[in-house]
């Protein structure tokens, strides 16, 4: 992900980078995963304008993650992961990994183990700041020094329906 500074927020808002395109959940379960199958799928996704993928795993009702094949975080899985990262890069696509089923207490604590062994992988703080303005009005926000803006969005407030009383 590219982090932009305050000076280029406006330019990136008007002409957003391609990495801000669609990024669907990409479920890695079901049939065994092979690099040939994944290459084919990435090609189809790229043809549809998909900017990247977010790897997800299915879970049962107790939030226990199904390991898939190759088994999640096995040596074969890491080899496949490295190949898929390269394949995404070659297509100009991003790749992410969703750990929401992996960090549940007593259900598999892979993500917590990774952070315990690699403290630099701890996430940061994400904050939402909102402002309102009138049509054509310039909006400026004062941000603390060191703030990294990752997205800015403007949209009209449209009231299509009015509810009247009386």
Share of the chain above pLDDT 90, in %: 28
Give the range with max mean pLDDT: 3-17, 89-103, 147-161.
89-103
pTM higher than 0.75: no
Nearest alpha carbon to residue 91 among 3, 11, 19, 8: 19
Q: Which domains does the chain have, with CATH numbers?
A: 6-121 (3.30.750)
């Amino acid at each position: 992900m590219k982090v932009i500074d305050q000076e280029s927020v406006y330019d990136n808002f008007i002409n957003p980078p391609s990495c801000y395109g669609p990024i669907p959940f990409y479920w890695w379960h079901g049939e065994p995963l092979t690099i040939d199958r994944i290459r084919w799928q990435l090609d189809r996704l790229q043809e549809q304008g998909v900017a990247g993928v977010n790897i997800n795993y299915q879970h049962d009702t107790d939030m226990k993650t199904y390991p898939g094949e190759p088994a999640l975080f096995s040596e074969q899985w890491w080899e496949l992961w490295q190949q898929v990262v390269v394949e995404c890069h070659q297509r100009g696509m991003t790749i992410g990994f969703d750990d929401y089923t992996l960090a549940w207490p007593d259900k598999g604590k892979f993500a917590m183990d990774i952070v315990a062994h690699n403290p630099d992988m701890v996430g940061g703080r994400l904050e939402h700041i909102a402002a309102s303005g009138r049509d054509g009005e310039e909006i400026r926000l004062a941000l603390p020094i060191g703030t990294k803006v990752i997205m800015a969005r403007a949209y009209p407030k449209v009231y299509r329906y009015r509810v009247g009383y009386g």
